[in-house]
Structure 1
Amino acid sequence: MPTGVALQDVRSQLFVAAERVLLREGPSALTSRAVTTEAGVAKGVLHRHFDDFDDFLAEFVLDRRARMAPQAEQLLGVAGTGDVVDNIASALSSVFGSVAMAILPLITFRAVLRARLRETWPAGVPILTDAVEMIADYLAAEQRRGRIAPAAEVNSLAPMLVGTAHLLYGDSPPTEATLRTSVSAVIASSLVADA
């Protein structure tokens, strides 16, 4: 890119480029050079906007986790409608079918990135923790509507559901039927019949 040409929303441009590299080539290919090449900008552009590459990665992860908020709102919006198992399976499919599955190994294998995230993210792994919160909120909403048993421990069911989905998506995406069967197995005893 020629010197002196203004870039529009360079942070977003770099994040989109990082996501493309991550999805196409995996976490080991995600370097500052790969991101700037993908974005079509000089390498120095990244370092003008971020302290270093791990600072960029931390901001990238937090930006992508913030994009889960609309998914959480959508899931809460369907509480009381449709099939509870289908609603949860669809939400988990949206989370794990996205860039989330590529971000998780990135966080796992980059100690400096984990340390940077700890500065603003006190516990758990971003995206997984958000998914647990999203599912727990949904289950609590269904519980208030009488579709989940009053005695059900929604704060225990949610991490089991997210963990199950994480394992199912670990190698390749499961079929819709497999995901639905697994969700059903986790919450079967908590569903209220004829609700």
Structure 2
Amino acid sequence: MPTGVHLRDVRKQLFDAAERVLLRDGPAALTSRAVTTEADVAKGVLHRHFADFDDFLAELVRDRIARLTDQGVLLRAGAGTRTVAENLVDALTELFDPVTVALSSLIFFRDELRIRLRHRGNGVPLLVEARQMLAAYLSAEREQGRIAADAEVDSLSLSLIGAAHLLFAGRQQGTLPEPGELAKMVHTITADVHQRRLL
């Protein structure tokens, strides 16, 4: 088997195992032994492919960030369809799935991991990229005249990410906000830019 294919297979196997541990047992339980046990591989396998456990975690986060790129393309392509609020609610629900919420907690509490990811810009890695994704989408909606021409998309996206993170992270692991709660938050944050568009 070609080495490149083998490496991708092992990485995916370990990343999938780490996500299962996060979902089942939470960030505190995520150790190299827990990951290799869950993946049903020898402990040395992880250390053959990653410099250390923080290197593994950094790559796990980067893999998640790469998924945001794909989500961002689809979200931006949806500008001008449905309502802005509906698009934002769906994007935030997909973004703050239980794995992302658990990973953001891990980033908050592991200094070494945060340091390794810091080159991506100021703020919490993963949430920074999520904010950029929403800002790009809101810019596209502003260009189409669906929100006010002077809408501060960076501030709006920061407010949306912060509020949504609190809604999703403040719950028992794996549970979602009440139906309508996220929509109400999105409408509240974006109400002003919709009203000014209509003036």
Whether TM exceeds 0.5 here: the answer is yes
Q: Which position in structure 2 is the counterpart of 1:115?
A: 115
Q: Which position in structure 1 is the counterpart of 2:25?
A: 25
Aligned counterparts, 1:44-193, within 5 A:
44-118=44-118, 120-172=119-171, 173-191=176-194, 192-193=197-198
Superposed displacement of residue 73, structure 1: 1.1
Q: Which position in structure 2 is the counterpart of 1:15?
A: 15
Q: Which position in structure 1 is the counterpart of 2:3?
A: none
Structure 2 distance, partners of 1:8, 1:95, is 24
Rate the CA distance shift 1:122–1:154 in 2: closer, same or farther, 3 A.
Answer: closer
Superposed displacement of residue 70, structure 1: 1.6
RMSD of aligned alpha carbons? 1.6
Rate the CA distance shift 1:130–1:43 in 2: closer, same or farther, 3 A.
Answer: same
Superposed displacement of residue 99, structure 1: 1.4
Q: How many residues get paired?
A: 188
In the alignment, structure 2 segments of 5+ residues that lack a partner are 1-5
In the alignment, structure 1 segments of 5+ residues that lack a partner are 1-5
Rate the CA distance shift 1:146–1:101 in 2: closer, same or farther, 3 A.
Answer: same
Superposed displacement of residue 124, structure 1: 1.7
Superposed displacement of residue 141, structure 1: 0.4
Superposed displacement of residue 155, structure 1: 1.2
Superposed displacement of residue 74, structure 1: 1.3
Superposed displacement of residue 113, structure 1: 1.1
Once the two structures are overlaid, the 10-residue window that deviates more, 122-131 or 143-152, is 122-131
Superposed displacement of residue 177, structure 1: 0.5
| Structure 1: 4+ residue segments shifted above 3 A | none
TM-score by length of 1: 0.91
Once the two structures are overlaid, the 10-residue window that deviates more, 6-15 or 183-192, is 6-15
TM-score by length of 2: 0.90
Cα deviation code 1:143-168 (max 9, x no counterpart): 00000101111111110011110111
The sequence identity of aligned pairs, in percent, is 54
Q: Which position in structure 2 is the counterpart of 1:3?
A: none
Give the counterpart letter for 2:184 in structure 1: T
Give the counterpart letter for 1:78 in structure 2: G
Counterpart check, 1:38 vs 2:41 = no
Q: Which one has a larger percent helix, Structure 1 or Structure 2?
A: 2
